[in-house]
Chains A and B, each alone.
Chain A
Amino acid sequence: MTTTTASAGPAPAAAPPPDPAPTPPGHPTAPPLPAPVAPLYERVRAGREFGANVRSTVDVLWVLYDRILRVTPQTVDDPGRDRFLLSKGHAVAGYYAVLAAKGFVPADWLDDQGGPHSLLGDHPDRMLVPGVEIGSGSLGHGLGLGVGTALGLRAQGLLTPRVHVLLGDAELDEGSNHEAIAYAGATGLGSLTAIVVDNGSATHGWSGGAAARFTVNGWTAATVDGHDHDALHTALTGHDNHRPHVVVAVVDQGE
Protein backbone atom coordinates (compact mmCIF):
# COMPACT_ATOMS: atom_id res chain seq x y z
CA MET A 1 0.00 0.00 0.00
CA THR A 2 1.07 3.57 -0.58
CA THR A 3 -0.48 6.46 1.23
CA THR A 4 0.44 9.91 0.07
CA THR A 5 -0.90 13.33 0.76
CA ALA A 6 -0.11 16.25 -1.41
CA SER A 7 -1.49 19.75 -1.69
CA ALA A 8 0.04 20.83 -4.95
CA GLY A 9 2.34 19.72 -7.68
CA PRO A 10 2.55 16.33 -9.26
CA ALA A 11 1.33 13.48 -7.16
CA PRO A 12 3.30 10.28 -6.91
CA ALA A 13 2.30 7.78 -9.47
CA ALA A 14 -0.27 5.22 -8.53
CA ALA A 15 1.09 1.87 -7.48
CA PRO A 16 1.97 0.15 -10.72
CA PRO A 17 -0.39 -2.66 -11.41
CA PRO A 18 1.15 -6.10 -11.43
CA ASP A 19 1.56 -7.82 -14.73
CA PRO A 20 -1.85 -9.09 -15.64
CA ALA A 21 -1.86 -12.82 -15.30
CA PRO A 22 -4.43 -14.94 -17.04
CA THR A 23 -7.21 -15.40 -14.55
CA PRO A 24 -9.93 -17.96 -15.02
CA PRO A 25 -13.40 -16.46 -15.04
CA GLY A 26 -14.95 -16.49 -11.61
CA HIS A 27 -11.60 -16.55 -9.87
CA PRO A 28 -10.69 -12.90 -9.40
CA THR A 29 -7.37 -11.99 -7.94
CA ALA A 30 -9.06 -9.73 -5.38
CA PRO A 31 -9.38 -10.92 -1.77
CA PRO A 32 -12.63 -12.46 -0.57
CA LEU A 33 -15.62 -10.16 -0.27
CA PRO A 34 -16.40 -8.74 3.19
CA ALA A 35 -18.32 -11.45 5.02
CA PRO A 36 -21.60 -9.51 5.51
CA VAL A 37 -21.66 -8.63 1.82
CA ALA A 38 -20.66 -11.91 0.19
CA PRO A 39 -23.97 -13.80 0.40
CA LEU A 40 -25.93 -10.73 -0.68
CA TYR A 41 -23.57 -10.17 -3.60
CA GLU A 42 -24.11 -13.76 -4.67
CA ARG A 43 -27.86 -13.24 -4.35
CA VAL A 44 -27.70 -10.29 -6.75
CA ARG A 45 -25.41 -12.21 -9.07
CA ALA A 46 -27.80 -15.16 -9.19
CA GLY A 47 -25.34 -17.24 -11.15
CA ARG A 48 -24.62 -14.56 -13.74
CA GLU A 49 -21.05 -13.89 -14.83
CA PHE A 50 -20.06 -10.35 -13.88
CA GLY A 51 -17.04 -8.49 -15.15
CA ALA A 52 -14.21 -8.02 -12.69
CA ASN A 53 -15.08 -4.33 -12.46
CA VAL A 54 -18.22 -5.26 -10.53
CA ARG A 55 -16.04 -6.72 -7.79
CA SER A 56 -13.51 -3.90 -7.75
CA THR A 57 -15.62 -1.33 -5.90
CA VAL A 58 -17.00 -3.55 -3.15
CA ASP A 59 -14.19 -3.00 -0.64
CA VAL A 60 -14.39 0.78 -0.99
CA LEU A 61 -18.17 0.70 -0.66
CA TRP A 62 -17.99 -1.52 2.41
CA VAL A 63 -15.43 0.68 4.17
CA LEU A 64 -17.53 3.74 3.38
CA TYR A 65 -20.80 2.34 4.66
CA ASP A 66 -19.27 0.40 7.57
CA ARG A 67 -16.78 2.91 8.90
CA ILE A 68 -17.08 6.35 7.28
CA LEU A 69 -20.54 7.51 6.28
CA ARG A 70 -22.79 8.93 8.97
CA VAL A 71 -26.00 7.69 7.42
CA THR A 72 -28.34 4.87 8.36
CA PRO A 73 -31.63 3.57 6.95
CA GLN A 74 -33.33 5.79 9.54
CA THR A 75 -31.53 8.96 8.42
CA VAL A 76 -31.76 8.75 4.63
CA ASP A 77 -33.82 11.96 4.62
CA ASP A 78 -31.96 13.74 7.43
CA PRO A 79 -30.50 17.00 6.06
CA GLY A 80 -27.45 16.48 8.25
CA ARG A 81 -26.52 13.03 6.91
CA ASP A 82 -23.34 12.34 5.03
CA ARG A 83 -23.89 11.93 1.29
CA PHE A 84 -22.55 9.17 -0.91
CA LEU A 85 -22.98 9.73 -4.64
CA LEU A 86 -22.14 6.79 -6.89
CA SER A 87 -21.15 8.63 -10.03
CA LYS A 88 -19.80 5.53 -11.73
CA GLY A 89 -23.26 4.01 -11.94
CA HIS A 90 -22.03 0.87 -13.66
CA ALA A 91 -21.28 -2.40 -11.92
CA VAL A 92 -23.74 -1.84 -9.13
CA ALA A 93 -24.20 -5.37 -7.78
CA GLY A 94 -21.81 -4.63 -4.94
CA TYR A 95 -23.57 -1.33 -4.19
CA TYR A 96 -26.92 -3.04 -3.86
CA ALA A 97 -25.37 -5.82 -1.76
CA VAL A 98 -23.82 -3.27 0.61
CA LEU A 99 -27.09 -1.32 0.84
CA ALA A 100 -28.87 -4.55 1.71
CA ALA A 101 -26.18 -5.55 4.22
CA LYS A 102 -26.69 -2.22 5.99
CA GLY A 103 -30.47 -2.45 5.90
CA PHE A 104 -31.23 0.31 3.38
CA VAL A 105 -33.07 -2.12 1.12
CA PRO A 106 -34.64 -5.50 1.96
CA ALA A 107 -32.54 -8.44 0.87
CA ASP A 108 -35.36 -9.85 -1.22
CA TRP A 109 -35.12 -6.78 -3.47
CA LEU A 110 -31.86 -8.28 -4.71
CA ASP A 111 -33.65 -11.15 -6.46
CA ASP A 112 -34.30 -10.68 -10.17
CA GLN A 113 -32.15 -7.53 -10.21
CA GLY A 114 -32.85 -5.71 -13.47
CA GLY A 115 -36.05 -7.65 -14.05
CA PRO A 116 -39.40 -6.16 -15.06
CA HIS A 117 -40.59 -5.78 -11.47
CA SER A 118 -37.21 -4.96 -9.90
CA LEU A 119 -36.42 -1.55 -8.40
CA LEU A 120 -32.73 -2.22 -8.89
CA GLY A 121 -31.56 -1.43 -12.40
CA ASP A 122 -28.13 -1.95 -13.86
CA HIS A 123 -27.75 1.73 -13.00
CA PRO A 124 -29.23 2.97 -9.71
CA ASP A 125 -32.17 5.37 -9.51
CA ARG A 126 -32.51 7.57 -6.44
CA MET A 127 -36.24 7.82 -6.98
CA LEU A 128 -36.59 4.05 -6.63
CA VAL A 129 -34.00 2.95 -4.06
CA PRO A 130 -33.83 4.20 -0.45
CA GLY A 131 -30.38 5.49 0.44
CA VAL A 132 -29.34 6.07 -3.16
CA GLU A 133 -28.47 9.77 -3.39
CA ILE A 134 -28.32 10.13 -7.18
CA GLY A 135 -29.45 8.30 -10.24
CA SER A 136 -26.38 7.64 -12.36
CA GLY A 137 -25.19 5.65 -15.34
CA SER A 138 -24.12 8.30 -17.81
CA LEU A 139 -20.55 8.99 -16.77
CA GLY A 140 -19.43 12.37 -15.56
CA HIS A 141 -22.48 13.61 -13.68
CA GLY A 142 -21.78 12.73 -10.04
CA LEU A 143 -18.99 15.15 -9.28
CA GLY A 144 -20.93 18.20 -10.46
CA LEU A 145 -23.93 17.08 -8.44
CA GLY A 146 -21.60 16.50 -5.49
CA VAL A 147 -20.16 20.00 -5.78
CA GLY A 148 -23.67 21.42 -5.83
CA THR A 149 -24.68 19.28 -2.87
CA ALA A 150 -21.69 20.45 -0.85
CA LEU A 151 -22.45 24.07 -1.74
CA GLY A 152 -26.11 23.65 -0.86
CA LEU A 153 -25.31 22.17 2.55
CA ARG A 154 -22.85 24.98 3.26
CA ALA A 155 -25.37 27.64 2.23
CA GLN A 156 -27.78 26.23 4.79
CA GLY A 157 -25.23 26.18 7.58
CA LEU A 158 -24.95 22.39 7.51
CA LEU A 159 -21.20 22.20 8.03
CA THR A 160 -20.93 18.68 9.43
CA PRO A 161 -22.07 16.46 6.54
CA ARG A 162 -19.43 15.30 4.11
CA VAL A 163 -20.13 14.60 0.44
CA HIS A 164 -18.42 11.57 -1.07
CA VAL A 165 -18.47 10.92 -4.81
CA LEU A 166 -17.20 7.65 -6.28
CA LEU A 167 -15.84 7.69 -9.83
CA GLY A 168 -13.81 5.40 -12.06
CA ASP A 169 -10.48 6.25 -13.64
CA ALA A 170 -12.01 5.88 -17.11
CA GLU A 171 -14.90 8.08 -16.06
CA LEU A 172 -12.36 10.87 -15.63
CA ASP A 173 -12.21 10.97 -19.43
CA GLU A 174 -15.46 12.94 -19.31
CA GLY A 175 -14.65 16.64 -19.39
CA SER A 176 -17.46 17.50 -17.00
CA ASN A 177 -15.35 16.06 -14.18
CA HIS A 178 -12.60 18.52 -14.90
CA GLU A 179 -15.00 21.43 -14.67
CA ALA A 180 -15.89 20.21 -11.18
CA ILE A 181 -12.34 19.37 -10.12
CA ALA A 182 -11.01 22.81 -11.07
CA TYR A 183 -13.87 24.72 -9.46
CA ALA A 184 -13.93 22.70 -6.23
CA GLY A 185 -10.20 23.13 -5.84
CA ALA A 186 -10.18 26.83 -6.65
CA THR A 187 -12.93 27.54 -4.13
CA GLY A 188 -11.58 25.24 -1.40
CA LEU A 189 -14.68 23.10 -1.13
CA GLY A 190 -13.47 21.32 1.99
CA SER A 191 -16.48 19.07 2.60
CA LEU A 192 -16.05 17.16 -0.65
CA THR A 193 -14.27 13.84 -1.08
CA ALA A 194 -13.86 12.20 -4.47
CA ILE A 195 -12.96 8.53 -4.61
CA VAL A 196 -11.48 7.26 -7.86
CA VAL A 197 -11.46 3.50 -8.24
CA ASP A 198 -8.48 3.08 -10.55
CA ASN A 199 -8.45 -0.18 -12.45
CA GLY A 200 -6.37 1.22 -15.27
CA SER A 201 -9.27 1.18 -17.68
CA ALA A 202 -8.94 4.70 -19.11
CA THR A 203 -8.14 4.14 -22.78
CA HIS A 204 -5.37 6.71 -22.85
CA GLY A 205 -4.33 6.36 -19.21
CA TRP A 206 -3.57 9.11 -16.73
CA SER A 207 0.12 9.85 -17.09
CA GLY A 208 1.45 10.79 -13.66
CA GLY A 209 -1.49 9.19 -11.89
CA ALA A 210 -5.14 10.07 -11.53
CA ALA A 211 -4.49 11.99 -8.30
CA ALA A 212 -2.38 14.55 -10.15
CA ARG A 213 -5.49 15.83 -11.94
CA PHE A 214 -6.84 16.82 -8.55
CA THR A 215 -3.72 17.97 -6.71
CA VAL A 216 -2.75 20.40 -9.45
CA ASN A 217 -6.08 22.08 -8.70
CA GLY A 218 -5.44 22.33 -4.97
CA TRP A 219 -6.97 19.10 -3.68
CA THR A 220 -5.33 16.90 -1.08
CA ALA A 221 -4.85 13.34 -2.25
CA ALA A 222 -4.14 9.84 -1.07
CA THR A 223 -3.45 6.87 -3.33
CA VAL A 224 -3.98 3.48 -1.71
CA ASP A 225 -4.59 -0.21 -2.33
CA GLY A 226 -8.28 -0.40 -3.19
CA HIS A 227 -8.73 -3.65 -1.29
CA ASP A 228 -6.90 -2.69 1.92
CA HIS A 229 -9.66 -1.67 4.33
CA ASP A 230 -7.41 -0.01 6.89
CA ALA A 231 -5.56 1.91 4.23
CA LEU A 232 -8.85 3.01 2.69
CA HIS A 233 -10.10 4.12 6.09
CA THR A 234 -6.97 6.16 6.71
CA ALA A 235 -7.19 7.73 3.26
CA LEU A 236 -10.92 8.46 3.56
CA THR A 237 -10.36 10.30 6.83
CA GLY A 238 -7.29 12.17 5.61
CA HIS A 239 -9.05 15.38 4.57
CA ASP A 240 -8.18 18.71 6.16
CA ASN A 241 -11.66 20.33 5.81
CA HIS A 242 -10.15 23.28 4.00
CA ARG A 243 -9.56 21.69 0.63
CA PRO A 244 -11.40 18.99 -1.28
CA HIS A 245 -9.86 15.57 -0.91
CA VAL A 246 -9.40 12.72 -3.36
CA VAL A 247 -8.72 9.07 -2.60
CA VAL A 248 -7.44 7.01 -5.49
CA ALA A 249 -8.21 3.36 -4.74
CA VAL A 250 -5.97 1.27 -6.96
CA VAL A 251 -7.14 -2.19 -7.96
CA ASP A 252 -5.78 -4.63 -10.50
CA GLN A 253 -5.87 -3.62 -14.11
CA GLY A 254 -9.17 -4.52 -15.69
CA GLU A 255 -10.61 -5.51 -12.34
Chain B
Amino acid sequence: MRNRFVETTTELLARDPRTALVLADISADAFTPAFDRHPDRVLNVGIREQLLVGVAGGLALTGLRPIAHSYAPFLIERAYEQIKLDLDHQGVHAVLVSIGASYDRAESGRTHLSPADVSLVDTLHGWTVHVPGHPDEVPALLRDAVAADGSAYLRLSTLHNARPYGGDGALRVLRDAGPGAPLLVAVGPVLDAALAAVGDLGVTVAYTHRPRPFDTAGLRALAGDAVILVEPYLAGTSARVVSAALADRPHRLLALGVGREELRRYGSAEDHTRWHGVDAAGLRRSVAGFLAAAPVPAGR
Protein backbone atom coordinates (compact mmCIF):
# COMPACT_ATOMS: atom_id res chain seq x y z
CA MET B 1 0.00 0.00 0.00
CA ARG B 2 2.88 2.35 0.74
CA ASN B 3 4.14 1.99 -2.83
CA ARG B 4 0.76 2.89 -4.25
CA PHE B 5 0.62 5.86 -1.91
CA VAL B 6 4.04 7.06 -3.07
CA GLU B 7 3.15 6.63 -6.76
CA THR B 8 -0.20 8.37 -6.44
CA THR B 9 1.11 11.24 -4.31
CA THR B 10 3.98 11.82 -6.73
CA GLU B 11 1.44 12.00 -9.54
CA LEU B 12 -0.81 14.39 -7.58
CA LEU B 13 2.12 16.69 -6.80
CA ALA B 14 2.93 16.88 -10.51
CA ARG B 15 -0.66 17.45 -11.54
CA ASP B 16 -1.88 20.01 -9.00
CA PRO B 17 0.32 22.87 -7.73
CA ARG B 18 -1.98 23.15 -4.72
CA THR B 19 -0.86 19.78 -3.40
CA ALA B 20 1.95 19.65 -0.83
CA LEU B 21 3.53 16.77 1.04
CA VAL B 22 4.98 16.96 4.55
CA LEU B 23 7.20 14.16 5.86
CA ALA B 24 9.04 13.43 9.08
CA ASP B 25 11.82 11.26 7.62
CA ILE B 26 9.56 8.19 7.28
CA SER B 27 9.31 7.28 3.55
CA ALA B 28 11.50 10.27 2.60
CA ASP B 29 13.75 8.13 0.39
CA ALA B 30 10.78 6.95 -1.64
CA PHE B 31 9.80 10.55 -2.32
CA THR B 32 13.23 11.68 -3.53
CA PRO B 33 12.10 12.02 -7.18
CA ALA B 34 9.10 14.09 -6.10
CA PHE B 35 11.32 16.27 -3.92
CA ASP B 36 13.71 16.83 -6.79
CA ARG B 37 10.84 18.05 -8.97
CA HIS B 38 8.94 20.06 -6.34
CA PRO B 39 11.34 21.09 -3.58
CA ASP B 40 8.97 23.81 -2.34
CA ARG B 41 6.06 21.39 -1.96
CA VAL B 42 7.79 18.25 -0.70
CA LEU B 43 8.94 19.13 2.80
CA ASN B 44 10.79 16.78 5.11
CA VAL B 45 10.96 18.37 8.57
CA GLY B 46 13.09 15.60 10.08
CA ILE B 47 11.98 13.51 13.04
CA ARG B 48 9.60 16.19 14.30
CA GLU B 49 5.98 15.05 14.31
CA GLN B 50 4.56 18.07 16.13
CA LEU B 51 6.11 20.24 13.44
CA LEU B 52 4.92 17.83 10.75
CA VAL B 53 1.29 18.56 11.57
CA GLY B 54 1.90 22.20 12.49
CA VAL B 55 3.48 22.78 9.10
CA ALA B 56 0.56 21.03 7.43
CA GLY B 57 -1.75 23.45 9.24
CA GLY B 58 0.31 26.44 8.16
CA LEU B 59 0.39 25.28 4.54
CA ALA B 60 -3.38 24.87 4.62
CA LEU B 61 -3.75 28.39 6.05
CA THR B 62 -2.12 29.68 2.86
CA GLY B 63 -4.52 27.71 0.66
CA LEU B 64 -2.44 24.63 -0.12
CA ARG B 65 -3.76 21.07 0.22
CA PRO B 66 -1.29 19.27 2.49
CA ILE B 67 -0.73 15.55 2.76
CA ALA B 68 1.12 14.65 5.98
CA HIS B 69 2.62 11.21 6.33
CA SER B 70 4.36 9.18 8.99
CA TYR B 71 4.14 6.00 11.00
CA ALA B 72 0.68 5.72 12.60
CA PRO B 73 1.59 6.12 16.29
CA PHE B 74 3.81 9.12 15.57
CA LEU B 75 1.40 10.81 13.18
CA ILE B 76 -1.79 10.33 15.19
CA GLU B 77 -0.84 9.67 18.80
CA ARG B 78 2.22 11.86 19.26
CA ALA B 79 0.79 14.77 17.27
CA TYR B 80 -2.82 14.45 18.41
CA GLU B 81 -3.02 17.96 19.84
CA GLN B 82 -1.61 19.41 16.64
CA ILE B 83 -4.31 17.57 14.69
CA LYS B 84 -6.95 18.96 17.03
CA LEU B 85 -5.63 22.53 17.15
CA ASP B 86 -3.37 23.17 14.15
CA LEU B 87 -5.91 21.71 11.73
CA ASP B 88 -9.41 21.48 13.20
CA HIS B 89 -9.39 24.52 15.49
CA GLN B 90 -7.88 26.67 12.73
CA GLY B 91 -10.70 25.63 10.42
CA VAL B 92 -8.25 24.14 7.91
CA HIS B 93 -7.88 20.64 6.55
CA ALA B 94 -5.29 18.07 5.56
CA VAL B 95 -5.00 14.50 4.40
CA LEU B 96 -3.09 12.36 6.89
CA VAL B 97 -1.65 9.09 5.61
CA SER B 98 -0.16 6.54 7.98
CA ILE B 99 1.61 3.24 7.66
CA GLY B 100 2.12 0.63 10.35
CA ALA B 101 -1.53 0.09 11.30
CA SER B 102 -2.26 -1.92 14.45
CA TYR B 103 0.70 -4.30 14.36
CA ASP B 104 2.29 -4.45 10.90
CA ARG B 105 5.71 -4.38 12.58
CA ALA B 106 4.84 -6.61 15.50
CA GLU B 107 8.48 -7.50 16.03
CA SER B 108 9.19 -3.85 16.86
CA GLY B 109 6.99 -3.98 19.93
CA ARG B 110 4.52 -1.59 21.55
CA THR B 111 6.15 1.64 20.36
CA HIS B 112 5.27 0.83 16.76
CA LEU B 113 1.77 -0.53 17.33
CA SER B 114 -1.16 1.82 16.78
CA PRO B 115 -4.47 0.04 17.34
CA ALA B 116 -6.02 3.24 18.80
CA ASP B 117 -5.45 5.60 15.88
CA VAL B 118 -8.93 5.39 14.37
CA SER B 119 -10.50 5.84 17.81
CA LEU B 120 -8.43 8.98 18.34
CA VAL B 121 -9.36 10.45 14.97
CA ASP B 122 -12.94 9.53 15.80
CA THR B 123 -12.87 11.95 18.76
CA LEU B 124 -12.67 14.75 16.20
CA HIS B 125 -15.47 16.15 14.08
CA GLY B 126 -15.97 15.79 10.36
CA TRP B 127 -13.07 13.52 9.49
CA THR B 128 -13.29 10.93 6.75
CA VAL B 129 -11.39 7.74 7.59
CA HIS B 130 -10.28 5.32 4.90
CA VAL B 131 -8.97 1.86 5.78
CA PRO B 132 -8.15 0.25 2.43
CA GLY B 133 -8.22 -3.52 2.31
CA HIS B 134 -5.96 -3.89 -0.71
CA PRO B 135 -3.16 -1.85 -2.30
CA ASP B 136 -5.25 -1.31 -5.43
CA GLU B 137 -7.88 0.50 -3.38
CA VAL B 138 -5.37 3.15 -2.35
CA PRO B 139 -4.97 5.32 -5.48
CA ALA B 140 -8.66 6.17 -5.93
CA LEU B 141 -9.19 6.75 -2.21
CA LEU B 142 -6.17 9.05 -2.04
CA ARG B 143 -7.08 10.97 -5.19
CA ASP B 144 -10.62 11.52 -3.96
CA ALA B 145 -9.45 12.54 -0.48
CA VAL B 146 -7.00 15.09 -1.86
CA ALA B 147 -9.54 16.43 -4.36
CA ALA B 148 -12.09 16.98 -1.59
CA ASP B 149 -11.92 19.90 0.82
CA GLY B 150 -12.26 18.22 4.19
CA SER B 151 -9.85 16.36 6.42
CA ALA B 152 -9.20 12.68 5.82
CA TYR B 153 -7.14 9.93 7.42
CA LEU B 154 -5.86 7.08 5.26
CA ARG B 155 -4.67 4.12 7.28
CA LEU B 156 -2.37 1.95 5.19
CA SER B 157 -1.27 -1.53 6.18
CA THR B 158 0.87 -4.38 4.95
CA LEU B 159 -2.12 -6.67 5.65
CA HIS B 160 -4.65 -6.94 2.86
CA ASN B 161 -7.38 -9.04 1.27
CA ALA B 162 -6.85 -11.19 -1.83
CA ARG B 163 -8.64 -8.75 -4.11
CA PRO B 164 -9.60 -5.06 -4.08
CA TYR B 165 -13.11 -3.69 -3.87
CA GLY B 166 -13.84 -0.31 -5.37
CA GLY B 167 -16.68 1.95 -4.51
CA ASP B 168 -17.06 5.00 -2.36
CA GLY B 169 -17.22 3.28 0.99
CA ALA B 170 -20.93 2.48 1.03
CA LEU B 171 -21.51 -0.98 2.52
CA ARG B 172 -21.07 -3.55 -0.20
CA VAL B 173 -22.71 -6.95 0.23
CA LEU B 174 -20.33 -9.76 -0.63
CA ARG B 175 -22.40 -12.59 0.76
CA ASP B 176 -26.17 -12.34 1.09
CA ALA B 177 -27.81 -14.73 3.56
CA GLY B 178 -31.28 -13.34 2.96
CA PRO B 179 -33.65 -10.97 4.76
CA GLY B 180 -33.28 -10.82 8.52
CA ALA B 181 -29.98 -12.75 8.56
CA PRO B 182 -27.27 -11.60 10.96
CA LEU B 183 -25.15 -8.89 9.33
CA LEU B 184 -21.36 -8.88 9.58
CA VAL B 185 -19.61 -5.66 8.56
CA ALA B 186 -15.88 -6.04 7.84
CA VAL B 187 -13.65 -2.99 7.58
CA GLY B 188 -10.60 -3.06 5.32
CA PRO B 189 -8.09 -5.90 5.52
CA VAL B 190 -10.08 -8.16 7.88
CA LEU B 191 -12.60 -9.01 5.15
CA ASP B 192 -11.08 -12.23 3.89
CA ALA B 193 -10.81 -13.70 7.38
CA ALA B 194 -14.41 -12.69 8.07
CA LEU B 195 -15.67 -14.32 4.88
CA ALA B 196 -13.78 -17.51 5.70
CA ALA B 197 -15.06 -17.48 9.27
CA VAL B 198 -18.79 -17.36 8.56
CA GLY B 199 -18.98 -19.35 5.31
CA ASP B 200 -21.58 -21.80 6.62
CA LEU B 201 -23.19 -19.73 9.37
CA GLY B 202 -25.95 -18.01 7.41
CA VAL B 203 -24.49 -14.55 7.90
CA THR B 204 -24.70 -11.67 5.42
CA VAL B 205 -21.25 -10.12 4.94
CA ALA B 206 -20.79 -6.49 3.90
CA TYR B 207 -17.52 -4.65 3.33
CA THR B 208 -16.37 -1.07 3.67
CA HIS B 209 -13.02 0.67 3.41
CA ARG B 210 -14.50 3.87 4.83
CA PRO B 211 -15.49 3.55 8.50
CA ARG B 212 -16.07 7.33 8.77
CA PRO B 213 -18.49 8.55 7.86
CA PHE B 214 -19.96 5.10 8.40
CA ASP B 215 -22.65 4.12 5.90
CA THR B 216 -25.49 4.18 8.41
CA ALA B 217 -28.17 4.20 5.72
CA GLY B 218 -26.72 1.03 4.25
CA LEU B 219 -26.48 -0.46 7.71
CA ARG B 220 -30.16 0.22 8.42
CA ALA B 221 -31.13 -1.29 5.09
CA LEU B 222 -29.14 -4.48 5.68
CA ALA B 223 -29.30 -5.08 9.42
CA GLY B 224 -31.72 -7.50 11.07
CA ASP B 225 -31.61 -7.94 14.82
CA ALA B 226 -27.98 -9.12 15.03
CA VAL B 227 -24.96 -7.14 13.87
CA ILE B 228 -21.30 -8.15 13.98
CA LEU B 229 -18.56 -5.59 13.47
CA VAL B 230 -15.05 -6.72 12.57
CA GLU B 231 -12.46 -3.94 12.55
CA PRO B 232 -8.67 -4.11 12.18
CA TYR B 233 -8.09 -1.60 15.00
CA LEU B 234 -9.49 -1.33 18.55
CA ALA B 235 -12.53 -3.55 19.01
CA GLY B 236 -15.67 -1.49 19.37
CA THR B 237 -14.37 1.62 17.60
CA SER B 238 -17.51 1.79 15.46
CA ALA B 239 -19.89 0.34 18.05
CA ARG B 240 -21.19 3.76 19.04
CA VAL B 241 -22.02 4.57 15.43
CA VAL B 242 -23.87 1.30 14.88
CA SER B 243 -25.73 1.63 18.17
CA ALA B 244 -26.82 5.16 17.34
CA ALA B 245 -27.91 4.17 13.84
CA LEU B 246 -30.04 1.32 15.20
CA ALA B 247 -31.23 3.07 18.35
CA ASP B 248 -34.88 2.68 17.36
CA ARG B 249 -34.61 -1.08 16.88
CA PRO B 250 -34.04 -3.93 19.30
CA HIS B 251 -30.73 -5.44 18.19
CA ARG B 252 -27.68 -7.24 19.45
CA LEU B 253 -24.17 -6.11 18.56
CA LEU B 254 -20.88 -8.02 18.66
CA ALA B 255 -17.87 -5.76 18.11
CA LEU B 256 -14.63 -7.55 17.28
CA GLY B 257 -11.17 -6.17 16.64
CA VAL B 258 -7.86 -5.57 18.36
CA GLY B 259 -7.85 -5.80 22.15
CA ARG B 260 -6.72 -3.03 24.48
CA GLU B 261 -4.30 -5.16 26.47
CA GLU B 262 -0.60 -4.71 25.76
CA LEU B 263 0.44 -8.25 24.91
CA ARG B 264 4.20 -7.65 25.27
CA ARG B 265 4.81 -10.20 22.54
CA TYR B 266 6.70 -9.82 19.29
CA GLY B 267 6.24 -12.31 16.45
CA SER B 268 4.54 -11.46 13.18
CA ALA B 269 1.45 -9.50 12.22
CA GLU B 270 -0.25 -12.82 11.53
CA ASP B 271 0.57 -13.93 15.07
CA HIS B 272 -1.09 -10.80 16.47
CA THR B 273 -4.10 -11.28 14.24
CA ARG B 274 -4.51 -14.72 15.79
CA TRP B 275 -3.84 -13.57 19.36
CA HIS B 276 -6.48 -10.86 19.03
CA GLY B 277 -8.94 -13.37 17.62
CA VAL B 278 -9.43 -11.64 14.29
CA ASP B 279 -8.15 -14.53 12.19
CA ALA B 280 -10.74 -16.80 10.56
CA ALA B 281 -10.73 -19.35 13.39
CA GLY B 282 -10.99 -16.73 16.12
CA LEU B 283 -13.75 -14.84 14.34
CA ARG B 284 -15.66 -18.06 13.81
CA ARG B 285 -15.51 -18.90 17.52
CA SER B 286 -16.74 -15.45 18.49
CA VAL B 287 -19.49 -15.26 15.89
CA ALA B 288 -20.75 -18.80 16.51
CA GLY B 289 -20.94 -18.10 20.23
CA PHE B 290 -22.78 -14.83 19.63
CA LEU B 291 -25.32 -16.46 17.32
CA ALA B 292 -25.83 -19.46 19.59
CA ALA B 293 -26.84 -17.24 22.46
CA ALA B 294 -30.61 -16.96 22.61
CA PRO B 295 -31.86 -13.41 22.12
CA VAL B 296 -33.59 -13.43 25.51
CA PRO B 297 -31.64 -16.04 27.43
CA ALA B 298 -32.46 -14.98 30.98
CA GLY B 299 -32.05 -17.88 33.34
CA ARG B 300 -30.92 -20.32 30.72
Q: Which of B46, B55, B81 contacts A147 (CB 8 A)?
A: B55
Contacts of B48 in A (CB 8 A): 179, 182-183
Complex Cα spacing A116 to B165, Å? 50
Contacts of A145 in B (CB 8 A): 54, 57-58, 61, 86, 90
Tell whether, in the assembled complex, residue B20 and residue A155 are in contact, meaning their CB atoms are under 8 Å apart. Answer: yes
Say whether, besides A152-B63, A153-B62, A155-B40, A183 and B85 are in contact (CB < 8 Å): no
The CA of A180 and the CA of B46, in the complex, are separated in Å by: 11
A133 contact set on B, CB distance < 8 A: 61
Selected from A127, A149, A152, A180, the residue in CB contact (under 8 A) with B20 is A152
Q: Does A138 contact B (CB under 8 A)?
A: yes
B36 → A minimal CB distance (Å) = 15
Interface size on B, residues (CB 8 A): 31
C-alpha gap A179/B86 in the complex (Å): 15
A120 to B223 alpha-carbon distance, docked (Å): 47
Number of A-B contacts (CB under 8 A): 102
- Residue of B with least CB distance to A134: B90
A146 interfacial by beta-carbon distance below 8 Å: yes
Hey, what's the 0/1 contact readout for A179-200 against B, CB within 8 Å counting as 1? 1101100000000000000000
B50, B62, B66, B91: the one contacting A144 at CB < 8 Å is: B50
Is the CB–CB distance between B58 and A141 below 8 Å? no
Check if A24 is an interface residue, CB within 8 A of chain B.
no
B89: interface (CB < 8 Å):
yes
Contact with A along B3-38 (1 / 0, CB 8 A): 000000000000001001010000000000000000
On chain A, the residues within 8 Å of B206 by CB distance are: none
Q: Is B64 an interface residue (CB 8 A)?
A: yes
A127 contacts across to B, CB distance below 8 A: 90-91
B51 and A183 contact, CB distance less than 8 A: yes
Return chain A residues, CB-CB under 8 Å to B59: 148-149, 151-152, 155
* C-alpha spacing A149/B46, complex, angstroms: 18
Check B62–A156 contact: CB distance below 8 A. Answer: yes
Known A135-B90, A149-B61: A154·B55 in contact at CB below 8 Å: no
Do residues B62 and A176 form an inter-chain contact, with CB atoms below 8 A? Answer: no
Interface flag for B56 (CB, 8 Å): yes
Count, chain A residues at interface, CB 8 A: 31
CA of A100 to CA of B66, assembled, Å: 33
Q: Does B82 contact A (CB under 8 A)?
A: yes
Decide if B2 is an interface residue (CB 8 Å cutoff).
Answer: no
Contact A150 B58 (CB under 8 A): yes
Q: Is the CB of A175 within 8 A of B54?
A: no
* Cβ of B41 under 8 Å from chain A: yes
Most chain B beta carbons < 10 A, residue from A133, A134, A148, A182: A148
Residues of B within 8 A of A180 (CB): 51, 54
Task: Please give the distance in Å from A130's CB to the nearest CB on chain B.
Answer: 14
Q: Are A151 and B51 interface neighbours, CB within 8 A? A: no
Contact B90 A126 (CB under 8 A): yes
Select from chain A the residue with minimum beta-carbon distance to B84: A138
User: Contact at A152–B54, with CB atoms within 8 Å?
Assistant: no
A79 in the interface (beta carbon within 8 A): yes
How distant is A108 from chain B, measured CB to nearest CB, in Å? 25
**Chain B proximity of A18: nearest CB distance (Å):** 36
Q: Is B185 an interface residue (CB 8 A)?
A: no
Distance of A101 Cα from B46 Cα, bound (Å): 41
Q: In the complex, given contacts A79-B63, A141-B82, A150-B58, what are 8 additional A-B residue pairs having Cβ atoms less than 8 angstroms apart? A: A144-B86, A145-B57, A145-B90, A146-B58, A147-B54, A148-B55, A176-B50, A182-B46
Sorted nearest first, the 9 A-B pairs with minimum C-beta distance are A148-B58, A144-B54, A152-B62, A148-B55, A179-B48, A149-B58, A179-B51, A155-B40, A152-B59
30 CB contacts below 8 A, A to B, read A126-B91, A127-B90, A133-B61, A134-B90, A141-B54, A141-B81, A141-B82, A141-B85, A144-B54, A144-B55, A145-B57, A145-B58, A147-B58, A148-B56, A148-B58, A148-B59, A148-B62, A149-B61, A152-B62, A152-B64, A155-B20, A155-B41, A155-B59, A156-B63, A179-B48, A179-B54, A180-B54, A183-B45, A183-B48, A183-B51
Residues of A participating in the B interface, judged by any CB pair closer than 8 Å: 79, 125-127, 133-135, 138, 140-141, 143-156, 158, 175-176, 179-180, 182-183
